[in-house]
Amino acid sequence: MTEKPSASRSADSGPLIDVDELERSLRDPDVPTPTLLDVRWSLGTPSDESYEQYLTAHVPGAVFVDLTTALSGPAREDGSGGRHPMPDAERFQAAMRRLGVSEDHPVVVYDAGPGLAAARAWWMLGHFGADDVRVLDGGLAAWQGAGSAVESGEHSPTPGDFTAEAGGRPSVTAQDIARRLSDSSSAEAAGTVLIDARPHERFIGRDESVDPVAGHIPGAVNLPALDLIDDGGGLLSGDEVVAAFSERGAHPSTPPTVSCGSGVQACHLALAWEAAHPEAPPAAVYIGSWSDWISAGDRPVARG
């Protein structure tokens, strides 16, 4: 399949939008109204419970997005692809059209905070070719904290016309990672750092409460996604994010590959990277991540 050009990453706007700017764009009759997607998801919370939270209060006009069904492919019995596999273009396109995503309207995604699930939606939309997608910094908590209005109940969108073609953002597979491990001197691997976004205790294999095997991919370094969140629930300053990536060996000339447990927190690292390095090549995301890596029993595992 022919890949779309890379998703637009405007240096003047960046991948984040704050409450004030979103409110202005919703009021401005001279610009296309943003399509609002509420990705109310957190690890261990059932989808129906997340949906009930959405019904209680959301940004006016926002549509509920089920991360498991709209932003993931079907989970496989053997675990390959991970807990939230990459959806194919046809499945993703159908989901986005049901949610009202159209070619001629920008998209703003948010969650209840701190932005992990919203980042997954942002990355997926960009990967499949949407070129104007931003994340509400701080999510619903920031929106409500600013005194902005919310509504309850369900919002039914007009079906959209979004066309999905993979390739707008870079991704890697377990096979790509394995090739790098087997030939660390290859041109592809040179200078590339693999950063794992899971909490440190899970990364070192001391407290694995989610997946059946503890540890991490050999050679990976750890940068927990939640370490990049400030006390208000938004992303840390650009300088702080740059420093965090630099300490792990990722620089604008050598963007990282990022992973996590199932391709959610990894997308947040990709978001943070792009917010702090708007002119640099984007991070590559291993969507299958650790839950995919361990689905094949012969792949190496590191601990500590």
- Catalytic position from the list 36, 260, 266, 283: 260
Is the bond leading into 157 cis (omega within 30 degrees of zero)?
no
Q: What are the φ/ψ torsions at residue 284 (nearest 5 degrees)?
A: -90, 135
Q: Is 267 a catalytic residue?
A: no
Q: Are 87 and 76 in contact (CB under 8 A)?
A: no
SS3 track for the chain: CCCCCCCCCCCCCCCEECHHHHHHHHHCCCCCCCEEEECCCCCCCCHHHHHHHHHHCECCCCEECCHHHHCCCCCCCCCCCCCCCCCCHHHHHHHHHHCCCCCCCCEEEECCCCCHHHHHHHHHHHHCCCCCEEEECCHHHHHHHCCCCCECCCCCCCCCCCCCCCCCCCECCHHHHHHHHHCCCCCCCCCCCEEECCCHHHHCCCCCCCCCCCCECCCCEECCHHHHECCCCCECCHHHHHHHHHHCCCECCECCEEECCCCCHHHHHHHHHHHHCCCCCCCEECCCHHHHHCCCCCCCCECC
Active site residues: 260
